[in-house]
Amino acid sequence: MRYIEEFRDPKAAKALLAAIETVVGEIGATADKPVHIMEICGGHTHAIFRYGLDRLTPPGIEFIHGPGCPVCVLPMSRVDECVKLAERPEVIFTTFGDAMRVPGSRKSLMQAKAEGADIRMVYSPLDALELARRNPDREIVFFGLGFETTTPSTALSIQQAAREGLANFSVFCNHITVPPPIKALLDDPHMVLDGFVGPGHVSMVIGTTPYDFIARDYGKPIAVAGFEPLDLLQSVLMVLEQIRDGRAEVENQYSRVVPREGNAVSLAAIEDVYEKRPSFEWRGLGEIDESGLRIRAKYKAFDAEEKFGIGYGAEKRVVEEVEGCACGEVMTGRIKPTGCPQYGKGCTPEMPLGALMVSSEGACAAYWQYGGLRGFDQSDVPVEAAE
């Protein structure tokens, strides 16, 4: 297949859906006793809702929406640190746009900007580097956020700043890695997971070998997937076939983009610039060992935590979630977004209370935008929100 339309071909989708239905039948999965498949990546969550795959696939499949949206899992304490940094008069705080509305305990970056903080949206850390060159009398801080997909570009910007000797550029590093939260979920005795649809973009960087433990140590199948409807349907079929056959393997549906060993240039940049933190807090999931990255000592001149004495290097602060917010339960698949008492009431995309309603990759925002899973009736939406 060469063109995007071919990955959305209705005939091919029908054939895959028929194959899925057959295998679901062979497994004996039903609406009452479904197979639980977690799509780890927020991009997949969005695609599943956007293309209605949750409604097209048989009731014997239950999608669990995983923690793969970096904006959604950012803890409130780190948002608070961002706001503190941005409110310093010497700082120009730069960030990707999707982090602007994530609620902190006091305010979001958007609110801080409205109150006068110098916060600028950028499309790349290279834009922040350019700002540093043009504003030698200001401190430019880049909000490094995201999984292995965005980690290399932040690393490359730090390497470039070091080469240029840019003394007024630093990164507030909140980069996180995908395998540790998967392990944490698998270790959770309350989680029921039968298989995974693996993240596509992250795997483009890290390859598929970091997922070997899922099959080897936990006996669960995983298929790394692309983002088009046929990609997702095919990967779901691959997972189901493994379950039916009693296999647990790491399969790669997205081989047109994802090499088994990952991207050598990106991995070298990551290795050069970062080291693992002993642990990192995830919104809704708590502290997870070795799940976050910090900037190595040799680049400490570009580490905003070192420069401004904040974050994990300083006194650590745990901020409680807003009362009634069920982001953690949604993120671990314990309830659907509509099960949160705040859904559509205290929490909408216009006025998000929790992070899952902020990003288009958040499960709550996807539910809101596309109408939710089978069985979800729009009349469930509280009157306040529907008006």
Residue given tokens 């483009």 in the structure block: 204
- The least distance separating ligand SF4 from the CB of residue 372, rounded to whole angstroms, comes to 12
Q: What gap in Å lies between CA 191 and CA 236, rounded to an integer?
A: 19
CB 327 within 8 A of CB 286: no
Number of residues located near ligand SF4, criterion CB under 6 A: 14
Strands of the chain, DSSP E? 35-41, 61-68, 91-95, 119-121, 139-146, 169-175, 195-198, 222-224, 250-252, 274-276, 279-282, 286-289, 293-295
Q: Does 326 bind ligand SF4 (CB under 6 A)?
A: yes
Task: Give the C-alpha separation, 379 to 255, whole Å.
Answer: 42
Pick the closer one to ligand SF4 by CB: 65 or 201: 65
The answer to the question of residue 69 lying near ligand SF4 (CB under 6 A) is: no
Q: Take residue 278 and report the two structure tokens written for it.
A: 């002993």
Q: Is 74 in the site for ligand SF4 (CB under 6 A)?
A: no
Q: Which of 353, 366, 373, 381 binds ligand SF4 (CB under 6 A)?
A: 353
Query: What is the number of H-type helices and E-type strands within the chain?
Result: 16, 13
Q: Which of 23, 41, 92, 357: binder of ligand SF4 (CB under 6 A)?
A: 357
Q: Least distance to ligand SF4 from the beta carbon of 15, Å?
A: 35
174 backbone dihedrals φ, ψ, rounded to 5°: -125, 25
Per CB under 6 A, 373 contacts ligand SF4: no
Query: Exactly one of 92, 141, 310, 327 binds ligand SF4 (CB under 6 A); which one?
Result: 327
Which of 182, 232, 364, 366 lies at the binding interface for ligand SF4 (CB under 6 A)?
364
CB of 202 to ligand SF4, least distance (A): 23
325 near ligand SF4 (CB under 6 A): yes
Tell me which residues touch ligand SF4 (CB under 6 A): 325-327, 330, 337, 340, 342-343, 347, 353-354, 356-357, 364
